[in-house]
Structure formats: structure tokens, C-alpha cells
Structure 1
Amino acid sequence: MTTASHPKYDQHYANGKARRRDCPRTSQAQVHLAAERDVVALVESSSQGRVPALAPLRHARMHASPFAFFRGMAMIQAADLAAGPDSGLRLQICGDAHLMNFGFFASPERQLVFDINDFDETHPGPWEWDLKRLAVSLVLASRGLGFSADEARATVLRLAETYRRRLLGFSQMSQLDLWYCRVGFEQLLSQATDAGMRQQLQKIADKARNQTQERLLPKMAELDDGGLRLRDNPPVIFHLDDQNSPLAACDDWLGDDGLAKTQAMLVRYIDTLKEDRRELLQRFRLVDAAFKVVGVGSVGTRCLALLLQDDYDQPLFLQLKEARPSVLEPFTGRCVHGNQGKRVVFGQRLMQATSDLFLGWTDSEDGRHFYMRQLHDMKAAPALETFANAEELASYGQACAWTLARAHAKSGGCAAEIAGYLGDSDKFDQVLADYAQAYADQVEADYRLFDAAVRGGRLPCAPTPR
């Protein structure tokens, strides 16, 4: 069902096109930098409120490459984007839409879908901020893999063209059709033009299908005194009562009665679920909890892996993850949800085609906010180094652009306006490629400052555990 012939569609499209007068598409190629921009000081400030002993691990993960640094410091680009042009079309955006924040996961019906999978920074903002972050990540990935400048630019042009074309298609769908639309594995596989990319998608999908709760059990837990206990692997995963853990060294979060306080957070979380899922969760009991270090930008925030079991001792792994204020909040308005975890859940439900069955939020006694979801349930994404050539990377970038266009169309309800702003030529594609290459240069310059601070000892850096 399409709405392209409806007079309202024509009006919305024209309104979007008219926005070019205040914000010309060519202006989007310009790189603007925030007024106060001390890169090393920003890295230091971003550690505030995190577990201090994990700062060296976070720095080590960011130190791996300019792309890893870019992943770990979304706040820098957010400030720079806020200093630049704005189309004026605002909607719920991801806030951190780089390449590695897309991947496969299971729908509640156990179907494999491809979508954005990280919403820690979700917040209302200009739609183009997501697209620019995705484009820059593509250039940095291309450079990190040794592809040429022409190949890097070509990947962005294909990303931009795919976003523009898909967004136009989504703008002509009814709201209900759009709400039910999703990018499934088979659909994505059929669109892949490169044989290597199809093979890689198949491998990722196979990996995702093997990431079930039952298969996760022997990897994550072991028998201890007749019961199950999560496996320790410090400093990546460790128990709250471990007196030698990074947490014990400098932070008394949850204290000695960590499991009891975790149970209290779990009870508050269950109250945020829909009634049927609330009933399901109440059939499980909490068996164990351990601190789990995740990602790059999230290292040092409070995250727990929870092991639950039903009456037949079958497992359910949940992840409790701290939700801090979005990096977009200083530039686009305060969080209206009262709980940062609820902000993440709201944005995820609004932007994803389908969300985790157990997605909800909670808080701790010390006022920290969290969201919860299943841990590793049929989730998988490609590792950057697995892209053998620029064609494979470009194809993956197109998949990300496709699902980002769908997410923006669903979350904002203003796809026709965005389509009007973009137009039907490749003008914006070229503009985005110019911006992505120029800002990638800036990221590499920022990384050199970060690298100097690490090598000079200002920023402590520990070897990354394998």
C-alpha cells in the first residue's frame, strides 16, 4: 500500500524540499568543531562515574585503532555535529549509529532480523546525525582495512544512495505497513550482490542461530557445590564479592549483599514488562550475578550478567546495563522519561522493527538507572577484520543504511519530509561522502592526541585481555 499519490504526501515532500533554503544540502559537507574541544580532557571527563579501576581497560580498547577510538567517544562527534548545520527535521535517533552497532538478533517469534542493536545514546535529534556517524565509521573502517581513498568514498556513496532510495520507498508506505516492516535475514541475503558478502552473512546468521540460552550455558556457567555459578574471567567478568576484583579495589557498588540488591532491581524491572512477559519472568529464580565488562564505550559502566533458572533448571541469561545520559542530551534537550533506562527502552522499541522479549528498565538504591534484556540471545555481528575487500564492506554498509532508513521512517513519521530534503539526485550522496572523508581526517587527528596521552602516561592503558 502506497501513499505517494496522496496530496498530503506531496505537501510533506515539498515541505522537506523547502528546508534546503535554511539548510542547503551543500552545507552538510562542512566539518564544524565544538568551541571547547580538548580531546584528552573529554576522554578524562567521560570516565566520571565509571569504575575507576576499569579506565585502563577502556583506554586500551579505544587505543586499538582510530575506529575503536571513534566508537568509544561518541560525545566528541555529537558536540561537533551540534555546532554544524541542522535540517530542522528531528526525530528519535540512535545517537551512535556506527557500523558495529548493527547486527542480527532474534525476534520474539524466533525469526532472525537485521537491525540496529545498540541504543545507549538514543535521543531526539536531527536524522542526519545518525547518517553522518554511520558514514564516518565506514570511511574509518575502510582506512583501517587498507582500502584506497577512492574505495572508501565509493562505499559512502553507495551507503548514501541506499539510504536515500530506501527512505523514499518507506515514505510512500502507510504507517501500519511501515510499523510492521522489518529487514529479515533471507531478505537481506537476496539483496547482497557480492558472493563473499553472501557467504559472510550466512556465517554470521549461523553464529546467531547457535547463540541460544542452552548453548550459552556451558560457556557462561559451571557447577559449584551442586548449583550453577557464572564463570569468572577477570577483569572482563567477575563476582561482586571478589575481594580482588576491579570493583572491590575502588568501588563498593551494591556492597556485600550484591545478590539481594540485584534481586530487588530485578523485581522493579519485572514491573516494567508487559503482563504476559511479567508472568513468564516470575517463573524464573535468580541464581547468580556477576559484573560483566562490555563493548568499548561502555567499559567502566555498571553492567551485570544474571543467571536465572526455571523449575526444571533451564537457564535464562539476562544483561543489566547501566544507562547514563545520552551524549546528545546537552544539545537537544533533557531526557523526559524520568529514568535513563526507560529512555533506552523507549528509543529501542520505537526504532527497531522488533525488540527483545525481555526488554525493560530498573534502578538501583544509589540512584543509578539501568535497562535489561537477554544476554547473547541469537545475537551476532561481523568483526571488522572479516571484510576481505571493499565490495564486502560496501555491501554491509548498504545493509546498515537500509535498516537505518527504516528505523528513521518508523520513529519519526516524517519520512516524506526527509525524502524531499534529500531529493532524487546524488547531490546529497556526494555531500555526505565529502563530510565523511573530512571528519575521518579529524578523528585520526583526535586519535593522535589520544595516542600521545596514552604513550605519555596521562591516560593509563592496560593490555587488552584476549
Structure 2
Amino acid sequence: MNKAVRASCQPDQRQAALAARRNRKMAASANAYVRGSTTRFYAWLGQSDRCTVPDGPEVWICGDCHVGNLGPVASADGELEIQIRDLDQTVIGNPAHDLIRLGLSLAMAARGSDLPGVTTAHVLEHMMEGYAAAFTQPDGAGDGHTDMPKAVRLVMRKAAGRSWRNLADERIEGVAPVIPLGRRFWPLEPSERAAIDALFGTEELRALATALRGRDDGADVRVVDAAYWRKGCSSLGQLRFAVLVAVEGRKGRLRHCLMDIKEAIAAAAPRYADSGMPRDNARRVVEGARNLSPFLGERMVAARLLDRAVFVRELLPQDLKLQIEQLTREEAVEVARFLTTVVGRAHARQMDPATGASWLAELQRNSSRSLDAPSWLWSSIVELVGAHEQAYLEHCRRYAMETDAA
């Protein structure tokens, strides 16, 4: 057995290893802590008594709308847009929650860039401008490179130039038809591998693997390799598998693709009662994606694996997350306006014009003379920034103590 395999994590060691990694990642910075604390975000928001958040119309919301969950997303036909790229927490709920979550993320990014507090005030003002613009522009208008902030435009250019080789080098360390076991990929139980093989033997998964432009709809599909995937903070306690699939092309030539299987669990984001949302969590995630992020939603399938709800999607080279750690004042307000327009379009396409106009009017209630942003948004961000700063420092203290003890 080589060193990489020996260094990988056995099935009975997964949860301890994932918990340690999550704690380490969340201790890296206050912004990283915000990204990894969705459940706490809604707990804090639910306990808030300093402001009244407006109740918006019943639409699908992201539920975890921070900067890292937006980025370039490719369609099955090869188009590319900035869309929401993580829908684990999606529910039919209050669209104001997406605005608060994104505002908190942008405020923490501004603090991480050592920008003055007045910049956060300008960020919130430009957020509301961008959100309102989404309701007046045609769907998709303004997504071109001309109106993108430089930081976003650079990521889009990188995404547009990527190929399967880039994805394979990045994810599985080369184009060889094997998933290398080691720090990122861990061995499967025999029952897990058998269940994955059976899943990809279904017509629904075969159709997903052949859905991209240039692939034969009737092509044969087979699993080449599979492994447990240690990926992100949200994998703790959940199934997460990487599956390398071969799709037979013309003249018997094989084309490989990388599939991501992720368990869907109950969302922390509050939902509207009697909204008609699917009870199955995987179907909820897929339906939310199709409404909020059509490019991603058309590439996802809900399924059952080992008696758990999972959703499956093909990873494409063009799918990238926005990683904006350092911002100037000008970049902060430009990024805030642009990203909130993206979120606004995701909400607006689910509303008729009258509902959209009524919602915009409701958002602007209780605006102050000194700040061109509603007081409920400002108060929420101020309260949540303080709560997250305190919780982050407590997390770092506990993490340091655990590390010393180990």
C-alpha cells in the first residue's frame, strides 16, 4: 500500500477528521467563520429584537447567500453566467434573508480588507440599488463582461478558458481514469461502491451523464472509479462522493466526467408554511436550483442512495466560486451592486411585475435620511457582525485549546 492510501481516512474515521478540518477552516478568518456558520446565522437572526425584517413574497431563496456561493456557472449548452452555485439551504422563504446573509458576507469581506466602517454603509446602499435594478432589467441583461467589476470579470475569463484537463488536474490530480486516495479522497465501504454502481445503472443517471452538448443521448455510461470526498465544511455528517464516469462516444472513444453526489439534509433556513415545497430534501434542492440558478438546475438530479436523499450533478471546468478576500473601497461597492443584482434576478424571475413592485416598495420602508438603505438591513448587519466577531473569537479559543490538547 502506497503512502497516499495509508494517509487516507478509513470509513470509521471520517467524522472525526471532518470535524477537525471544519474547525480548522472556520478558525482561519472571521470571513471563513461566517461562511461556515449558516445554522448560527439563522439562530442569531431569529433571536434579534432590534429590527423588523419585512416579510417578502413566497419565492425560492438561496438560504445561504454569501459571496463564495456565487460564481460562474455553465449550462449544458456551454453558456456561462454568474449565478448562485450552492443550493443546499434553498427553501421557499423570505427573500430578505438572502439580502441579509449577502450583506453580512460583504460587510465581513470589507472588514477583512481593513476598510473603514463607512464603506460598509456604502456597500449596503449599493446592494439595494443593484437589487432594485434586477427588477427593471430584462432577465440576463447586464450579465456581460462590460458591467462586471474587475474582480468578477477576471474570474469569468478564467472560467471561460478552462477545459476538462484543468478540472481533472485540479480535482483528481491528472487525467488518468482513477481517483487518487489520500487527503482529499477516502476509500469506500463495499456497500457504498455497490450502491453507486447501481445508481449509475439507472436511466435517469445515464441521461444526466449524456446531457451535455456533444454527447450522444444513447451512449453507454459506466462508473470507472469512486471515493468519499472530503470537501467543504458542509460535508460533516453527510454522504459526499466523487464518481468518475466514462461516457462512450463516437467510434468507441471514451469521454470522462466527474460527478458529485451529496446528501441533502433539512435546511436551516426558515421556510414559509404551506408553500408547496417538496418534502424530500434532494427534490427540494433540485427544484430550488431550477428556479434560482437555471444553468445549474438543469444539470442536477435528485435520487436515493443507501436510503438517503442525495442530489447528483456533473462538475464542469467552468464552475468556479468567487474568492474575493481583499477589496478596495471602489471594488467593494461595485462587487456589492453586481452580486446583489444577480441575486435580485434570481428572485425577480419568480414574481410577476405587480408583486415585484410591491416587494421593492416594502423593502424601502423605514429608510433613514442619513443612509440610502433601509434601517432593517443596517440594523441586522450591525447586530450580526458583532455577534459573529464574538462567536469567531470563541471558536478560535476552543480550537486552540483542542489543538494544544491533541
Q: 1:302 to 1:60 in 2, by over 3 A?
A: same
Change in Cα spacing, 1:165 to 1:358, as seen in structure 2 (3 Å) is closer
Distance across 1 between alignment mates of 2:260 and 2:276: 23
2:262 aligns with 321
Residue in structure 2 matched with residue 262 of structure 1 by the alignment: 196
The equivalent of 1:56 in structure 2 is 20
What amino acid is aligned across from residue 105 of structure 2 in structure 1?
S
SS of structure 2 residue aligned to 1:77 = helix
Distance of 2:203 and 2:395 partners within structure 1: 38
Aligned to 1:191: 147
Q: Give the 3-state SS of the residue equivalent to 1:285 in structure 2.
A: strand
Shift of 1:310: 2.0
Is this contact kept in 1: 2:61–2:347, CA < 8 A? yes
Task: State the AA in 2 paired with 1:389.
Answer: T
Amino acid in structure 2 at the alignment position of 1:453: R
Following superposition, the deviation at residue 409 of structure 1 comes to: 1.2
For the residue of structure 2 that corresponds to 1:55, the secondary structure is helix
Q: Which amino acid aligns with 1:76?
A: R
Question: Contact between 2:44 and 2:384, CA under 8 Å: does it hold in 1?
Answer: no
Query: What are the residue-to-residue correspondences of 1:161-310 with 2, within 5 Å?
Result: 161-167=129-135, 169=136, 181-182=139-140, 185-186=143-144, 189-192=145-148, 197-198=149-150, 200-221=151-172, 228-234=177-183, 236-240=184-188, 255-267=189-201, 270=204, 277=211, 280=217, 283-310=220-247
Shift of 1:262: 0.7
Contact 2:244–2:258 (Cα < 8 Å) also in 1: yes
Task: Give 2:193's aligned amino acid.
Answer: L
TM-score scaled by structure 2?
0.82
CA contact (8 A) 1:220 1:231 kept: no
Q: 1:326 to 1:425 in 2, by over 3 A?
A: closer
**2:397 paired with 1:433:** no
- Kindly tell me: are residues 363 and 334 of structure 1, through their superposed partners in 2, closer, same or farther at Cα, counting changes over 3 Å? farther
SS in 1 for 2:65: coil
The 3-state SS of whatever aligns with 1:280 is coil
- Tell me, which stretches of 5 or more residues in structure 2 are unaligned? 1-13
| Distance change in 2, residues 1:201/1:134 (3 Å) | closer
Partner SS for 2:82:
strand
Correspondence 1:377 to 2:317 = yes
1:394 and 1:421 mapped to 2: Cα distance?
Answer: 23
Q: d(CA) in 2 for partners of 1:331 and 1:425?
A: 24
User: Cα RMSD (Å) of the superposition?
Assistant: 3.2
**Comparing 433-442 and 261-270, the one that deviates more:** 261-270
Shift of 1:161: 2.2
The number of aligned residues is 376
Asked if 1:392 corresponds to 2:331, the answer is yes
Following superposition, the deviation at residue 289 of structure 1 comes to 0.8
> 1:68, CA displacement in angstroms?
1.2
CA 276–218 in structure 1, closer or farther in 2 if over 3 Å, else same: closer
Which residue among 112, 117, 128 is the counterpart of 1:149? 117
CA shift digits 1:260-299 (9 cap, x unpaired):
2112233458269689849838532111111212223334
| Deviation at residue 86 of structure 1 after TM alignment | 4.4
Q: 1:282 to 1:358 in 2, by over 3 A?
A: farther
How far 1:258 sits from its partner (Å)?
Answer: 2.9
- 1:7 aligns with none
